[in-house]
Structure 1
Amino acid sequence: MQKNIAIFASGSGTNAENIIRYFQGNKTIRVSLVVSNKPDAFVLQRAERLGVPTCILTREQFARGGEVVELLRGRGIDFIVLAGFLLRVPDELLQAYPQRIVNIHPALLPKYGGKGMYGDRVHQAVVAAGERESGITIHYIDEHYDEGTTLFQATCPVEPDDTPEQVAQKVHALEYEHYPKVIERILLGLEAD
């Protein structure tokens, strides 16, 4: 039985594109929808170019939750992947998809997580703190920012002279390598790591 994924993204969509490409041709897992809260998000063009349907929902529609759940159920969505999605996921959606919504965070949670900690802000904080290691955390989401059950972590070194941009490059490489594989293992019922 095929599993249908919806990817939620707010920006450029490099992780979303990587995930879509990873599952192209897969007989049991398919990216069936890309949802964004921003009509000008480049992720929408990436998805359309790869033949994946897209949908734009406003901040208000997300906040209400019921419209999102109805849309996803109507499209037969089994699993939700957050890939640079910057809105809080409403409780209605969490309840409709328990343990079926994953996120990737560009640091080793519980460090450098929480509201407002995303993208370059995280890498800047890691460098400013003098950390010698960073990485990614893939986790289920819950009602608190970056506090859901951790499924997988991978690390990379942070050199003393690394800039936040250099740390970001290392972290992006980990995201591209691991996020699709972890999603696949979850959907196939295998251990994430």
Structure 2
Amino acid sequence: MKKIAIFASGSGSNAENIIRYFKGSGSVEVSLILTNNPSAGVIERGKRLDVPVVVFSRNNFSQSDAVVRLLQNNGTDWVILAGFLWLVPENLIRAFPGRIINIHPALLPEYGGKGMWGHHVHEAVVRNGESRSGITIHYVNEHYDEGEIIFQAQCEVLPTDTADAVAQKVHELEYRHFPEVIETEILKS
């Protein structure tokens, strides 16, 4: 049984979708949720779904090995970023080489990097008159959104679409593809 830990900073809808996908799986288990946001919705989702949740500080994340030790003590095999907004520090990348996966709400390399998350991405896509958007699932390295791309899926952006409409289309792609791509990557390792 492979154990995954999910990092999330916000509402946790992707985290919940992943947890439900692997519930009862004989091969993958979501064993822990970590968040940097003490008021994140993912905390309540974790409690409701019986997955332990840990809130950590920036210091514990990037200035010490506290988070890495927590993951190792938990027996974590893979780290999944599902709406997590901080840059992953090198010590965590070294502890889980090739075993940290992120999802980004755009077709990288476009609309990636620091400050390009959530609604900021969708607003930029609409503002620039793009005809398509989508998701990118990628491995994590020491730079925002620059790790090796595993999978992309796209959706059409209509001239009449608002940022909210694009967000809805992108969320549908996330919910449909993210758990399956995680499972494929874990099982082939």
Answer yes or no: same fold by TM over 0.5: yes
C-alpha distance after superposition, 1:20-45 (max 9, x if no partner): 00000001100000000111111011
Q: Which amino acid aligns with 1:90?
A: P
What is the rounded CA distance, in whole Å, between the counterparts of 1:64 and 1:140 in structure 2?
Answer: 22
* 1:169 aligned partner: 168
* Percent pairwise identity: 58
Aligned to 2:134: 135
CA contact (8 A) 1:106 1:135 kept: yes
Which residue of 2 is the match for residue 116 of structure 1?
115
CA distance, structure 1, for counterparts of residue 141 and residue 55 of structure 2: 23
**Structure-1 separation of matches of 2:37 and 2:126:** 30
Q: In the TM superposition, what are the counterparts of 1:87-126 in structure 2 within 5 Å?
A: 87-126=86-125
SS state of the match for residue 61, structure 1? helix
CA distance in 2, matches of 1:130, 1:65: 43
Question: Which deviations, in whole Å up to 9, do the C-alpha atoms of 1:75-123 show, x marking residues without a partner?
Answer: 0000000011111111000011011000000000000000010000000
Call closer, same or farther: CA 1:27–1:79 in 2, change over 3 Å. Answer: same
Q: Verify the 8 A CA contact 1:65 1:91 in the aligned structure 2.
A: no
- One-letter amino acid matched to 2:78: F
Unaligned residue ranges in structure 1 (runs of 5+): none
Matched, 1:182 2:165: no
- How far, CA to CA, are the matches of 1:151 and 1:137 in structure 2? 8
Structure 2 length normalisation: TM-score? 0.98
2 CA distance for matches of 1:145 and 1:54? 24
**In the comparison of the two structures, how many residue pairs are matched?**
189
Structure-1-length-normalised TM-score: 0.96
The match for 2:59 is 60
User: C-alpha separation between the residues in 2 aligned to 1:26 and 1:136?
Assistant: 25
Letter in 2 for 1:158: V
Is 1:24 the equivalent of 2:19?
no
Aligned partners of 1:65 and 1:90 also within 8 Å: no
Q: Residue 32 of structure 2 corresponds to which residue in structure 1?
A: 33
Q: Which whole-Å CA distance do the structure 2 matches of 1:107 and 1:38 have between them?
A: 23
